[in-house]
Amino acid sequence: MTTTKAMTMTTVSIALMLALSTSSVYAAQDNAYHHEAEIGFLDSDDGGDGIFNANYRYYFKAVEQADKPYALADFFHQGSKVAVRYSTSDFDDIYALSGQYVFDSNWFINAEVSQVDFEEYEYSTTLDSFTIYAVNLGYFFTDYSALTLGYSTMSESKATSFTSSSYNSERYYSNDFDAFRLTYEHFIPLQSTVGVMLTGTLAYSDEQYSDHFLNSDTNDQGQVTNSNSEQNITYDRYNVAINADWYINNSWSVGAVIEQGNTDTHYNYSSANYDDVGSIDQTDTSTSINTRYTWRFADIFSAKFSLSYSNFDGEYENDSQTNFSVGVNARF
C-alpha cells in the first residue's frame, strides 16, 4: 500500500510540473460561461481508497472569469445559481442539491439538502443513511467581501429487533445535530501578485446521541430476565478558523489554515448493574498548508491539481495527513 501511495503521489507531482511548464504553450480564451461541470479524485496517505467527486452548476447570469483567479470566479460572480453534486468513497455516498438567489439589494440566500448513504454491513445497527438540511443568509458588502450566517440540521433514528423462542432484543438509536456558522470572506488585491483571499469562520454545533437496548431472556423454567440499558451523549462544539490563500497568479495559489475547537461532552450511561454520569472537556488545534494550480489547456477545459499537508494536535491524540487531488473542469 505504501509503495502504491508513493507512486501515485509521484505521478501527481510529475503531472503538476508538466502543467506548470507547459501552461504558456497554449493561451485559452477566458470566455464567460453559464455551465460548470467537474469531476475529481482526492486521495491521502491514510490508507483509504480515496474519494471520487462530481458536480455541476448552472448560473442564471453569465460568469466572467477573465482577469481574476479561476478558483474564485464563483465568489466574484455574486449571482444566482443551482447545483448538484455526488461523491463516493469506501464509507459512504453523498448526493446533494443546492440553490442560491441573490437580491438586487446584495442580500443572498442559499439552501442545500444532502443525502448520506453509508456502506451497508450485515449486522450494522447504526444509521444506514441520514439527510442534512442547510440554509444560509448573507450579504455582499463589496465586490470583494461577503458575510454569511448558516444553519444546518439533521435528525434521524433507527429501530432494530430480534426475536427467538427464548430471547427478545430491541434497539432504538437516534442522532440529532444542529449547527450554526458565521463566515466572513474578503479578497485583498495586490500589485505584484493577484491578491490574498482571507476567510474567517465561527461555528457552534450541538449533537445528541441516544442508544437504548431492551432485552429479555427466558430460561427453561419459563423465568424471564430483563437486561435493559440506555446511553445518552451530548456534544457541544465551538470552532474558530482562519484561512489565507495567496494567489500568485490567476492559476496558482498557496495557502494555510489554522483552526481551534473546543468540545464539551456530557454522557449518561445506565443499566441494571452499572450507572455512569460525567463530562469531558477538550481543546484541539489543527493546522494545514496547501498549494493549488489550475491548468487552462483549452477554451472550455481545465485540469486542477492540489496538494495539502495537515496536522491535528489534540489533547488525546495527534495525527498528520497528506492529501492530493486531481480533477477536470469544464466551463461553457
Q: Quick: pLDDT tens for 67-119.
A: 999 999 999 999 999 999 999 998 889 999 999 999 999 999 999 999 999 87
Q: What is the pLDDT of residues 8-32, one digit of tens each?
A: 444 444 445 554 544 445 678 999 9
The CA distance from 76 to 59, in Å, is 13
Question: How much of the chain is helix, strand and coil, in % rounded to 5?
Answer: 10, 70, 25
Mapped to the 3 state alphabet, what secondary structure does 33-65 carry?
EEEEEEEEEEEECCCCCCEEEEEEEEEEEEECC
Q: What is the pLDDT of residues 236-283, one digit of tens each?
A: 999 999 999 999 999 999 999 999 999 999 999 998 788 899 999 999
Q: Residue 227: pLDDT band by 50, 70, 90 thresholds?
A: confident
SS3 68: coil
Q: What percent of the chain has pLDDT over 90?
A: 70
Mean pLDDT of the chain: 89
The CA distance from 20 to 24, in Å, is 8
pLDDT of residue 65: 95
| 155 pLDDT higher than 80 | yes
Nearest C-alpha neighbor of 125 from the set 78, 65, 189, 175: 175
pTM for the full model?
0.86
The CA distance from 17 to 209, in Å, is 47
116 C-beta neighbours (distance < 10 Å), count: 19
The CA distance from 231 to 212, in Å, is 6
C-alpha cell at 55: 458536480
